[in-house]
């Protein structure tokens, strides 16, 4: 019996370990006897334009390089299937036609909650049209905001990098309290506070950074915030603040009024980056404290030079589990991860795509306390940042691979 081929796409913003999931899919496919693993260039966009590459023909050293290389090796995308049913069906037919031509029986989409929506639509249309295609979503997001999974591949590495940066910049900041007392570090994470919360791992001793963590789950009230900054300054002479990009005020409006010149992204989300500039202005105007801002932005999603080994292992495992599920006949699921038990790969499970698509998991109240996090949260996140990916170095820099496409 010959089983069909695999098609895999990467969607949304990459993570430091998104290619480990791709690696897991390629390797598991190979081990299961799949002849060709095709990669869609820029996710769904590549499928619609028939821009795909045969990963089974790519030299082995490049495939091995996926285990430590950041960026989506196949290209990511923010393409959303047409919302008008008629147009969407045209797109779906294009997808199935391509699958037909390449004898593709298994489709894997590595992404976050928007991407799970795309996978869900492809799966539902396949069922409706009785088209033989197994669709499995592979989780990926530094935001850690996918529901029905203990954690998401990508988050651990981002958490490790952000916590490291806060610890280092915090020591720097402390030494400059007399001239530059305040630092604001802005993290990604949209509407949820998992990543800014993880910066709490940086605190190595009493009064070390971070001092205040502003989470999107808590309404941001300027006067209350400024009072906290003043109080902390009075106590220790400086303040290191970490904040999520998606802070909202008590009315539920985004605090960041600067925004972007281009407005809304293709999934309809407002583009949020920029909160740190707003807060810098607020602090400097109202409190007259010289304030530095740090915006690591996409470095949070790509710092493979100090990525989490556990996270990389989990990412690969979700890819492998997806292949096993699909070849076992499952479709319409996302691979989920169970609690990280410490230095071994997490258990995987399957959750229905339509329960994950477009849903956001907020940081629960039990993890939040007094502009900081609880011990329980630290115990949750600490296992996810353990170990480091081994990255080959050349001439003093990480020696990454890239696929031509």
Catalytic residues, by residue number, are 143
**DSSP track, 106-126:** EEEEEESHHHHHHHHHHHHHH
Nearer to a second copy, 129 or 176 (CB): 176
Tokens 């894997």 -> residue: 108
Smallest CA-to-CA distance from 75 within 120, 8, 128 is with 8
Return the sign of the alpha-carbon dihedral for residues 93, 94, 95, 101.
positive
Token pair listed for 351: 């959750």
Cβ distance 227 to 220 under 8 Å? no
CA-to-CA dists, residue 127 to 86, 120, 136, 147, angstroms = 17, 11, 13, 24
- Count the neighbouring beta carbons within 10 Å of the beta carbon of residue 51: 15
Give the whole-angstrom CA distance, residue 36 versus residue 4.
8
Smallest CA-to-CA distance from 20 within 304, 344, 312 is with 312
Query: Assign residue 71 a region: left if phi > 0, alpha if psi is -120 to 50, beta otherwise?
Result: left
Chain centre distance of CA 204: 26
């Amino acid at each position: 019996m010959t089983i069909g081929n695999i098609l895999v796409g990467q969607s949304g913003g990459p993570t430091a370990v998104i290619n480990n999931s791709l690696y897991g899919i390629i390797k598991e496919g190979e081990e299961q006897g799949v002849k060709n693993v095709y990669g869609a260039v820029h996710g769904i966009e590549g499928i619609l334009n028939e821009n795909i590459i045969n990963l089974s023909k790519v030299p082995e050293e490049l495939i091995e390089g996926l285990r430590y290389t950041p960026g989506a090796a196949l290209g990511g995308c923010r393409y959303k299937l047409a919302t008008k049913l008629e147009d969407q069906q045209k797109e779906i037919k294009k997808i199935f036609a391509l699958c037909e031509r390449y004898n593709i029986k298994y489709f894997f989409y590595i992404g976050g909650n928007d991407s799970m929506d795309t996978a869900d639509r492809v799966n539902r249309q396949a069922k409706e049209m009785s088209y033989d295609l197994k669709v499995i979503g592979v989780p990926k997001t530094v935001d850690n905001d996918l529901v029905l999974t203990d954690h998401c591949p990508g988050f651990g590495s981002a958490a490790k990098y952000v916590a490291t940066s806060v610890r280092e910049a915090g020591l720097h900041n402390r030494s400059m309290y007399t001239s530059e007392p305040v630092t604001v570090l802005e993290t990604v994470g949209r509407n949820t506070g998992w990543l800014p919360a993880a910066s709490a791992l940086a605190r190595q001793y009493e009064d070390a950074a971070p001092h205040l963590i502003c989470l999107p789950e808590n309404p941001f009230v300027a006067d209350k915030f400024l009072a906290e900054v003043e109080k902390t300054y009075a106590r220790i002479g400086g303040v290191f603040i970490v904040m999520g990009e998606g802070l909202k005020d008590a009315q539920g409006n985004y605090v960041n009024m600067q925004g972007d010149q281009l407005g809304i992204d293709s999934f309809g989300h407002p583009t949020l980056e920029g909160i740190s500039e707003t807060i810098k202005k607020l602090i400097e105007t109202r409190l007259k404290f010289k304030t530095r801002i740090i915006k690591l932005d996409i470095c949070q999603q790509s710092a493979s030079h100090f990525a989490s080994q556990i996270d990389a292992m989990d990412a690969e495992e979700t890819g492998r589990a997806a292949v096993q599920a699909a070849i076992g006949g499952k479709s319409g699921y996302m691979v989920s991860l169970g609690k990280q038990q410490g230095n071994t790969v997490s258990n995987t499970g399957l959750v229905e795509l339509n329960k994950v698509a477009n849903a956001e998991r907020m940081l629960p109240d039990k993890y939040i306390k007094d502009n900081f996090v609880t011990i329980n949260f630290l115990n949750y996140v600490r296992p996810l940042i353990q170990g480091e990916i081994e990255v080959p170095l050349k001439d003093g820099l990480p020696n990454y691979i890239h696929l031509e496409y």
